[in-house]
Structure 1
Amino acid sequence: MNDAAPSPFAEQILPPWRRAVLKVGSSLLAADGGGLTPRFALGLAQFVSANLLAGREVVIVSSGAVAAGRAIVPRAAEAGAAIAARQALAALGQAQLATLWQRFFERPVAQVLLTHDDLRNRRRYLNARATLKELLALGALPVVNENDTVSVDELKLGDNDNLAAIVAALVDADALFIATDIDGLYTADPRRDPRARPVEDVRELSEAVMAMAGGSGSAVGTGGMHTKLQAAAKAGAAGIDTYLFNGRSGEVVRALAQGRLYGTRVHAGRSRIAARKYWLRHAPVEPGAIVVDAGAARALRENGASLLPGGVTAAEGDFRRGDMVEVRMHGGDGMQCIARGISQYSAVDVRRIAGCHSRVIEATLGYNYGGSVVHRDDLVLLP
């Protein structure tokens, strides 16, 4: 990795974090002439390993499949190839990309291919989140990429920056690290304007800040600084800070592993927990509700517990798995809404498991989405 010049950005101390997403773009992985190179990936892998050894969790969002495919079938490598040709290159390159990351780690690397549609659909969103969290619990290292072999609009955008922000919210990350091929955000494009100055701390993504971002500076990458700031805005809405840094600088990456940032920090507007609770409180609810007994209501209010099927007495309406619904109980003045949250089961399923112990869910339904009807991370209490 290049250590020739120190970063023009001043040192910042990273806040503590428990789980993070690291986005790595094609410009850091693509070799000259096609294919992939470990040149810069090695240092980033060492950053990941250092944090895993410290007990933290990391999810990698990695571009590079199309670049890898170009080395396998060079004749299809022309820039501007038809979408189908690029999709074929992505299919050829995905295995190469997963292999590149696996070579750096003793723990298993899990390839997870997603599209934005997977994350917009609430049921698929829940399935993706459950899979990623289970992989982390198993000690695996998830490597996420867009499923470029089937997506069209996403492939044309090539925007893994925004995908990384969505994944950060998906896994309840505390930080989003975006490795790029420049030092961070500048007041203008430093490659074209010698008067450009580093912007080390962004408290608000105003129009003036967004105007500082230029286009893509790489022949293999398709996301410029503008998409990185868009991603930071998405992450910030979920209460997640974003850190932009130069993934080509060994000095910068080693410092990052020691909790020191030479780059740009984009602050979230509110804390991650506050952002999540705000969304849960104000997102539209589906018609219907889950009705609970007094014991379950007390456990939710006093113990911060998840809603288990044993405390459920009924399900109203016809909601589906992944829908936002109200949680109600009978009170002195009739039915009272005490909470709202995302149901792990449909109304039909909730009726079948109401009053049952969590351990009999699979025997009753023939499948199991977890032991809770509404997990505490997906639930907010109401006054």
Structure 2
Amino acid sequence: MKDSKTINLKDLKRIVVKVGTSILTDSRGILEVSHISDIVEDLFRLRRFGLEVVLVTSGAIGAGVERLKLKRRPQKISLKQAAAACGQSRLMHIYEDLFFKHSQEVAQVLLTHRDLSERKSHLNARETLLVLLQHGIIPIINENDTVAFEEIKFGDNDTLAALVTNLLEADLLIILTDIDGLYEEHSNREAKGRLIEVIEEVTDKILNLAGSKSGELSIGGMLAKVQAAQMATKGGAYVIIANGMKPGILTQIFAGEKVGTLFLPQIDRTSRRKCWIGFNLKPSGQLIIDDGAKEAILKQGKSLLSSGIREIKGDFERGEAVAVLDLDGRELARGLTNYSQTELDKIRGKHSSEIEGILGYKYDDEAIHRDNLVLL
């Protein structure tokens, strides 16, 4: 970790700001319009600086809690989706009214994981958002919780914000939450110790530091935010986790004040296609590999061969995304497999020269080619 750094505003063109449920609602789940107004004021200042701004907002389910007369965030999926349906329109109406006071146009964009995992819809979403930005419009993005099922489990839109950052090749992602950033120690109740100002790389140690801190009205703890930072920095973006409860926090960041935790972008920027493979696609299965294969892909930049595969989990077809794990169960990489689960079961542990004799055909020498393999 280095001494605290600041980001030169002149170097930035496009930023993504993610606002969590804890910032937008009170403990009962009722929208705090004054907090939303503070965020809007800050975002408008950034637009005046000439920045392209994308807002990823949570709060739809929390906003719907009041309309459904619920006492707390529901656990049942159908109730969550009903709350999202009630709350999304109200949330967007508030944003529109507040931005209208500044003559700033906004656009609502609702996404599901499917929209970003399927290559064609992924590219369509990118083009739509770029057109909005070119016209000076602020896209307000939320997950389409009304129709999402597995997607509703995202970390309070932290993952969505990171995916959007990579999708648009944004320069900076700012994640606003209800604490000042990442501390040396996190527990379920509070953050302790010294605030970590700069993180060069998200390592296992950093992930372990994140711990867990979630509320009833939100589902994203610090761990989800740090994992989102890991995704975005691998795509080449800066990431800042900061306290959105403090008025003017965005202005403070761009004034060079030492606020929040800054995550530095990785020098070896992952290509947009590899970001899509590594972070947008949900793995359909798992490949557990031996230590030799682990060293080959991590240290030598090699492809994954069938000879290094010890075990296969899941049911998947050729061309689908799979997770690559070591013998301890740690996820090392994700990639597009050249063989189905049934085929890999037959050739795992076998040399590439044996594949055709076992299957009667051979697509490739590699189980996953390095061009389709993304290290995590």
1:191 CA displacement: 8.0
State the one-letter code of the partner of 1:39.
S
Equivalent runs, 1:50-61 vs 2, <5 Å: 50-61=45-56
Query: How far apart are the structure 1 equivalents of 2:273 and 2:241?
Result: 26
Equivalent runs, 1:1-383 vs 2, <5 Å: 12-15=5-8, 16-75=11-70, 77-105=71-99, 106-189=103-186, 196-250=193-247, 252-270=249-267, 274-276=269-271, 279=274
Query: Using a 3 Å threshold, how does the CA distance of structure 1 residues 34 and 279 change in structure 2: closer, same or farther?
Result: closer
Query: Using a 3 Å threshold, how does the CA distance of structure 1 residues 194 and 113 change in structure 2: closer, same or farther?
Result: closer
Contact 1:43 1:253 in 2 (8 A): no
State the one-letter code of the partner of 1:89.
A
Q: Specify the SS of the correspondent of 2:271.
A: helix
1:156 CA displacement: 3.0
1:339 paired residue number: none
State the one-letter code of the partner of 1:87.
Q
Q: Specify the SS of the correspondent of 1:125.
A: helix
Query: Using a 3 Å threshold, how does the CA distance of structure 1 residues 115 and 17 change in structure 2: closer, same or farther?
Result: same
Aligned residues: 270
1:15-46 CA-partner distances (Å, limit 9, x unpaired): 33110000000000013433311232222222
Q: Specify the SS of the correspondent of 1:262.
A: coil
Query: How far apart are the structure 1 equivalents of 2:272 and 2:106?
Result: 32
Worse-matched range after superposition: 250-259 or 152-161: 250-259
Query: How far apart are the structure 1 equivalents of 2:239 and 2:225?
Result: 9
State the one-letter code of the partner of 2:252.
A
Q: Which runs of 5+ in 2 are unaligned?
A: 279-376
Query: How far apart are the structure 2 equivalents of 1:156 and 1:193?
Result: 23
Query: How far apart are the structure 1 equivalents of 2:192 and 2:30?
Result: 35
Determine what percentage of the aligned residue pairs are the same residue.
36
Normalised by the length of structure 1, the TM-score is: 0.66
2:311 paired residue number: none
1:342 paired residue number: none
Query: How far apart are the structure 2 equivalents of 1:109 and 1:152?
Result: 27
1:260 CA displacement: 3.2
Query: How far apart are the structure 1 equivalents of 2:42 and 2:4?
Result: 17
1:334-365 CA-partner distances (Å, limit 9, x unpaired): xxxxxxxxxxxxxxxxxxxxxxxxxxxxxxxx
Contact 1:72 1:92 in 2 (8 A): yes
1:51 CA displacement: 1.2
Whichever of the two has the greater Rg, that structure is 1
1:241 CA displacement: 1.2
Query: Using a 3 Å threshold, how does the CA distance of structure 1 residues 193 and 248 change in structure 2: closer, same or farther?
Result: closer
